[in-house]
Amino acid sequence: MTEVRSFSDTCLHSLATPKILEPRECGQLAPATSRRPAALVGNTPVLRVSAPLSPPGRGFWAKLEGFNPGGSMKDRPALHMVEAARARGELTPGARIVESTSGSLGLGLALAGQAYGHPVTVVTDTGMEPIVRHMLAAYGAQVELVTEPHPVGGWQQARKDRVAKFWPTTPAPGAPTNTATPTTSPATNHWD
**Residue 4, CB half-sphere, CA atoms under 13 Å: how many?**
19
What are 94-145's pLDDT values in tens digits? Answer: 999 999 998 889 999 999 999 899 999 999 999 999 999 999 999 899 999 9
In sequence order, which ranges of 90-189 are alpha helices (DSSP H)? 104-116, 130-138, 154-164, 184-188
Are the C-beta atoms of 11 and 3 separated by less than 8 Å?
no
Selection from 169, 163, 167, 172 nearest residue 91 by Cα: 172
Domains assigned to the chain: 2-67 (no CATH), 75-188 (3.40.50.1100)
Structure-model confidence comparison of residues 157 and 22, the more confident one: 157
Spatial distance between the Cα atoms of 178 and 80, rounded to a whole number of angstroms: 12
Residue 38: pLDDT over 80 = no
- Active-site entry in 19, 74, 160, 165: 74
Spatial distance between the Cα atoms of 87 and 84, rounded to a whole number of angstroms: 5
Q: What are phi and psi of 48, to 5 degrees?
A: -85, 120
Strands 120-125 and 97-100: parallel
Is 19 a catalytic site residue?
A: no
What are 139-168's pLDDT values in tens digits? Answer: 899 999 999 999 999 999 999 999 998 876
CB-based contacts of 16-22 (< 8 A; 24+ apart in sequence)? 17/52, 18/47, 18/49, 18/53, 20/47, 20/64, 21/45, 21/47
Cross-strand bridge partners of residue 87: none
